[in-house]
Amino acid sequence: MAAKTIISRPIYGTLSPQPGKHHLFIADAEGALAITDMAGKAPPGFFDGAEIVFIPGREGKHIAALEALKPAQLHLPPSFASLVPRLRQTLTNAHMGLRIYLAGTEGLIGQAMQVALEAGIDHTSMQTEHRGSLARRMQCVHCKGITENVTTQPALCSHCGLLLLVRDHYSRRLAAFQGVCINAEDRSENPPMEEAFP
């Protein structure tokens, strides 16, 4: 569970059914369980107006549990990047009364929120629930490259190769934590890399 450290570090809640005409769920991996857990609290017919977008990952778990909720649509994209054009299209055509629910890894929640923010939805208007890995999406503040699924502290920038301190400083605009060179003064200093975000 993510702990609040500094003000920009996102914290996540527990999905709960909101009043609305349409409901869009975006989830990956264990995020499916946040949806099925919430389903118990939802009023009858809630999923008749719901679209669930679920990125199952390699193991392909939880699909049957989501099918059992009988949402109006269940969409299973192979990756988040491949989902983005369709998601943008959905939001462009949507009306007020659509509610957004994001569940799963921080990387998924942050990137889906980034697309929804561009569509004019306030981040506080979205329901979020973190499930699964604590791996971080990190931006190197030096070369601006993004490194996905960072689990260590410090971590190597996958673009420029600098050794970065993964900060709690988070950017909603970029959907990434900020990584800052940890040995800028003396590049021969190499603090041990530890598993910090399992």
Using the rule CB under 8 A, give the single segment among 1-9, 40-48, 88-96, 129-137 that binds another protein: 88-96
Query: What whole-number distance in Å separates Cα of residue 48 and Cα of residue 195?
Result: 42
Task: Name residues contacting another protein, limited to 122-161 (CB under 8 A).
Answer: 122, 124-125
Name the one residue in this structure whose structure tokens are 């889906």: 112
Note whether 70 binds another protein by CB under 8 A: no
- Give the binding range for another protein (CB under 8 A) out of 63-71, 89-97, 145-153, 166-174: 89-97
Written as one letter, the residue type at 120 is G
Q: Please identify, using beta-carbon distances, which residue of 18 and 152 lies nearer to another protein.
A: 18
Residues with Cβ within 8 Å of residue 176, at least 6 apart in sequence: 110, 136, 137, 138, 139, 146, 170
CB neighbours (10 Å) of residue 174? 16
Question: Which positions from 95 to 124 touch another protein by CB under 8 A, shown as an x/- string?
Answer: xxxxx-------------------xxxx-x
Cα(9)–Cα(33) distance, rounded to whole angstroms?
Answer: 24
Q: 17 or 145: whose CB is closer to another protein?
A: 17
CB of 67 to another protein, least distance (A): 25
Locus of tokens 């604590």: 134
Q: Which is nearer to another protein, 119 or 180 (CB)?
A: 119
Q: Could you say whether residue 17 binds another protein (CB under 8 A)? A: no
Kindly tell me the sign of the dihedral angle through the C-alpha atoms of 34, 80, 175, 145: positive
The residues binding another protein (CB under 8 A) are 18-22, 91-92, 94-99, 119-122, 124-125
